[in-house]
Amino acid sequence: MRARGFTLIELVVVVALIATAMALAATVFSAGLPGQQLRGATRELAAQLRYTRAQALVTGEPQRFLLDTRSREWQAPNHHRGRVPEKIGIVATVARDERPSPQVAAIRFFPEGAATGGRIVLKRDSAAWQIDVDWLTGEVRTTRVASP
């Protein structure tokens, strides 16, 4: 009678196959991370800009969103803060009066919904997204663009 079970060779082959599959999956997954990181950063900044606009509408007072392009840090009302990942490039175009310093861009939202307007472009490798803030309505829109 033959004993039931697996031989050592069979176990080694199965472990090797699992290790190979895991390595392939990790490679495929990590290749998508830069794009996901860029989209995530774009969504986060757009959400915080919309939040800043909502705070201006709710409080009846102007509110500012600040973005330091050098330190990569952003700040919205009520101590909302964050940071853009290191490998993502930032180009901010805002009204000259809304630049507290050369590396800091600010967009001001007013209680009636309008804004000073502006554009923030986030880029990584050959991909780029732009966030536009309409000065008349304060609407925040994101668009995928060719990397500048």
- Which residues, in sequence order, are CB contacts of 55 under 8 Å at separation 6+? 63, 76, 77, 78, 109
Per CATH, which fold does 37-146 belong to? minor pseudopilin epsh fold (3.55.40)
* DSSP H helices in 6-104: 8-59
Q: How far apart are CA 142 and CA 130, in angstroms?
A: 6
Contact status, residue 77 vs residue 63, Cβ threshold 8 Å: yes
The better pLDDT of the pair 8, 140 is held by 140
Q: State both tokens at 97.
A: 């009066």
Can you give the pLDDT at residue 28?
61
Q: In terms of C-beta density within 10 A (0-12 exposed, 13-18 middle, 19 or more buried), how is residue 34 classed?
A: middle
* pTM, 2 dp: 0.78
Q: What is the pLDDT of residues 49-102, one digit of tens each?
A: 999 999 999 999 999 999 999 999 999 999 999 999 999 999 999 999 989 899
Q: Where are the domains of the chain?
A: 37-146
Q: Tell me the C-alpha distance between 128 and 147, whole Å.
A: 5
